[in-house]
Amino acid sequence: MELLRQKILNEGILPGTDVLKIDSFLNHQIDVSLINECAKAWYSLFKDENITKVMTVEASGIGLACMTAQYFNVPVLFAKKTRSTNISDEYYSAKVVSFTHGQTYRIIASKKYIKENDKILIIDDFLSNGSALKALIALAKAAGADVVGAGIAIEKAFMDGGNDVRRMGYRVESLAKISSIKANGEISFG
């Protein structure tokens, strides 16, 4: 999506570095008209799939997920992050190894809100090593639900996450695919 690529080029890089920062428009401040355009793009890609629920993980996926769910007219379910390994029987849980922070945590979702007949669209802001996305898929699969695919705002396509998940047989639709970031901050899209 051209609008998102432009936003990344204009605001996404810390000058003189290769650090990608999306906190001016996605994960601290949120450009709501931009995420609405992302939502419309995913709706157009997945509108024939009879989606019954949009899943994401707190926190920065929630805005994108809600805007997207508006078009499908379905609820959102956001998985919660926890450091606890003591998960009650009421929840499905899966482990995430965060690429950004190098930390391990679990995400959980109540068994009440994912059902076998659900057709789930996963939405998230960022895809790097794919750990969060694989964990969301694991929660949905634990309930026997069908994961129709994933809508990602920004994929670091020079990392393995996206292609891992595609090789697992899932449809992953990333609106901006970054193929490289040079040491001077120059970004290429693929």
Chain positions contacting its own copies, by CB under 8 A: 23-24, 28-33, 35-36, 58-60, 62-63, 65-67, 69-70, 73-78, 80, 109-110, 112-113
Identify which of residues 51 and 165 has a Cβ nearer to its own copies in the complex.
51
Least Å distance between CB 117 and its own copies? Answer: 16
Identify which of residues 28 and 47 has a Cβ nearer to its own copies in the complex.
28
Q: CA Rg, the chain, in Å?
A: 16
Least Å distance between CB 91 and its own copies? Answer: 10
Considering only CA atoms, which of 154, 95, 145, 103 is closest in space to residue 124?
A: 154
Least Å distance between CB 85 and its own copies? Answer: 18
Least Å distance between CB 167 and its own copies? Answer: 31
Identify which of residues 36 and 98 has a Cβ nearer to its own copies in the complex.
36
- 131 to each of 47, 107, 126, 160, 179, how far by Cα in Å? 26, 11, 11, 10, 19
Taking the C-alpha atoms of residue 140 and residue 123, their distance in angstroms, rounded to an integer, is 13
Identify which of residues 41 and 165 has a Cβ nearer to its own copies in the complex.
41
Q: Left if phi > 0, otherwise alpha if psi is -120 to 50, otherwise beta: which for 167?
A: alpha
